[in-house]
Structure 1
Amino acid sequence: MRILTVAEATAYLKDLIEFDPVLTDVWIRGEVTTMTRSAAGHVYFNLSADEIQISCVLFRGTQRSVLAMPQVGEEVLAHGRITIYEARGQYQLMVDNVAPVGVGVLQLQFEETRRRLEAEGLFNVERKRPIPKMPATIGVVTSAQGAVWHDIQNVVTRRFPIVELILAPSIVQGPDAPAELTRSLRALDDTNRCDVIIIGRGGGSAEDLAAFNDEGLARAIFTTRAPVVSAVGHETDTCITDLVADLRAPTPSAAAELCVPDSAEIVVRLGFALTQAQSSVREVIRADREQVQRGLTATHHRSPMRSIDRARQQVDNTIGDAHRIVPRLLSAFRREVASLDTTAALLDPRSIMRRGYAIVSTRTAGEERRVTTASGAIEAAQVEIAFQDGRARATVRQEQE
């Protein structure tokens, strides 16, 4: 037998409840019997049914995303996860959405998918890509038999007929529609030819539009290389694809208009740009003509012969300076050369030897070394003596004072 403390038993039950897949994602139906709001803005209320009640908490940060705020006496559907408040050992529902009982299953599924994808960042405005202003190729995912494909073709042909349209046909409603829409979208994106992709269908009931609330389709739109424009139903209809796409269009025809420019407007803009360019060129030509005219007038008042005369005078002055300076430089150069010649003659060893001096050297390992002292000569023993007219070898016997 194992004995648990109150804390251990509570922690054990908390783990069982909070890791149960059913209790972590559950809708609970009941009547709101009591409700209080804390100073921090959190809402605490009870759901009751058949004399049984469960405590619920709706935190302030979650309140802005619920379908409806709970009101005492109303029967509602509350979504969230079951947890245990350990301090009291009491289980409670951590609410993240509240809806009136009259809300249909499709709307609840839509809200669940929307909240989950929004929490993951799939709807973030920062990641939405710009739609190219002048695409070369537009991909379209819709039914080949519906009016949407023909409407898009008509709009594109009227506004910008040089654009290529590629249809990836798919059914747009029914249980098989989400998977087929996803396959067609990915196949179209994998061609790597589309500058932008339009996915859409005409209006219909909530059941007809349900395929465009599919989570798998939303994730496929999020991962496409080309930006995606969602055009589902009418302007009042909002689907998950509208939220995850890079741009939402109120109708398929509006999507086509948003994806291509109007060729008539382009012609008008080009005409305006051409007029501006012509005006700018005429202004440049006028300014250049005025500048040339000013140059001709200035040349007329200033004769070029004056410049030539000044240049000639400068040349004459330079030649005169050269006649005066060059002889003096040559004379100084000659005196410098003579002085260097005299100094070289005095320092020439042969001139010194002609006065009776000689150079004593010795050879060690083939290398000649000068002998400048008597002790060095005795140490070498054999020396060579260079005279002005030749060399002689000598043996040194002793040193004399």
Structure 2
Amino acid sequence: MTLNLSNQFIEESPLSVAGITFYIQDILEEDYQLQQISVIGEVSSAKLNSGNLYFTLSEPDNSASIPCAIWRNTLKNIHHQPEKGEQIIVTGRISLYPPRGDYKLIVNTVSLAGEGIQNIRYLQLRSRLEKEGLFDQENKLTIPKFPKTIAVVTSDTAAAWGDIQRTIKQRYPLVKILLSPTFVQGEFAPLAIVEAIKKVELDGRAEVIILARGGGAVEDLSCFNDERVVRV
């Protein structure tokens, strides 16, 4: 990244320590590229202090390192806590602490490097949607205890469709079951799922929607994590 400071005004007289520190802070914290970045590195040190986790990410040959921090309110939602010697991928933002004049990467997600970029994208999406309040309890609809009609959004050739019909008929035979068929795997699946759910909403009879498929590998289930599906 190249910064063009030709248009910035810097006084010829000496700057105060606070002046130059806050100037550097503005450059770092106002650069949007540094406010949501992913970094891969090896954890060379890690320690807890007052509920916050402080650690250092380094190059394997120790040619460069960056201090990192996970605040305690974020740490409780981190699925994997960094440990010394691990190769990890983190996402976060750059922040400068003026009293010491040092900068840190403030981390909000962590994953082992072997988990791949797909998991990083999933964690970034989940974090962004959580900040929007999409998963807040007050935004969730109440599921009726005894619905009269249930719509199932799945493939009409999937084993899951047969399993759902049998289970519902055994446990709650009075309910009416509707099928809104869709793809549940592949690049066209997210849009197809969205359209299938919208058809159920337009029909208006179903009080509950079941979106399902019969299991599979992580990559097979990725369509259910698509932002278009989450928002529908």
Say yes or no: TM over 0.5. yes
2:98 & 2:137 partners in 1: Cα distance?
A: 39
Q: Alignment partner for residue 10 of structure 2, among 2, 6, 11?
A: 2
Residues 86/122 of structure 1: CA separation in 2 closer, same or farther (3 Å cut) = same
**Are positions 1:185 and 2:193 aligned together?**
no
For the aligned residues, what is the CA RMSD?
A: 2.5
2:72 & 2:155 partners in 1: Cα distance?
A: 44
Bigger radius of gyration among the two: 1
1:27 & 1:106 partners in 2: Cα distance?
A: 13
- Contact 1:47–1:55, Cα closer than 8 Å, also in 2: yes
Deviations 1:141-197 (A, max 9, x none): 111221222333333444555533322221111122112212221231132221111
- For 1:277, the equivalent position in structure 2 comes to none
1:16 & 1:176 partners in 2: Cα distance?
A: 42
Q: TM-score, length-normalised on structure 1?
A: 0.49
- For 1:47, the equivalent position in structure 2 comes to 57
Which structure has more RCO (C-alpha within 8 Å, separation ≥ 6)?
2
Deviations 1:79-136 (A, max 9, x none): 2111222233332100122222222333333333333333444334455444323322
Deviations 1:319-351 (A, max 9, x none): xxxxxxxxxxxxxxxxxxxxxxxxxxxxxxxxx
Structure 2: which amino acid aligns with 1:43?
L
- For 1:66, the equivalent position in structure 2 comes to 78
Structure 2: which amino acid aligns with 1:57?
A
Deviations 1:206-226 (A, max 9, x none): 000001112221122xxxxxx
1:35 & 1:133 partners in 2: Cα distance?
A: 48
Structure 1: where are the runs of 5+ without partners? 221-401
Aligned pairs for 1:196-275 (under 5 A) are 196-220=208-232
Q: TM-score, length-normalised on structure 2?
A: 0.81
- Please state whether the residue corresponding to 2:81 is helix, strand or coil: coil
Q: Alignment partner for residue 18 of structure 1, among 19, 26, 29?
A: 29
**Are positions 1:101 and 2:113 aligned together?**
yes
Structure 2: where are the runs of 5+ without partners? 1-8
Deviations 1:218-272 (A, max 9, x none): 122xxxxxxxxxxxxxxxxxxxxxxxxxxxxxxxxxxxxxxxxxxxxxxxxxxxx
Residues 34/154 of structure 1: CA separation in 2 closer, same or farther (3 Å cut) = closer
Q: Percent identity?
A: 40
- Please state whether the residue corresponding to 1:152 is helix, strand or coil: helix
- For 1:86, the equivalent position in structure 2 comes to 98
Larger helix fraction of residues: 1
Using the TM superposition, name which of 16-25 and 157-166 deviates more: 157-166
Deviations 1:46-96 (A, max 9, x none): 211141111111212221212322222322222211122223333210012
- Contact 1:106–1:206, Cα closer than 8 Å, also in 2: no
**Are positions 1:77 and 2:83 aligned together?**
no
**Are positions 1:28 and 2:39 aligned together?**
yes
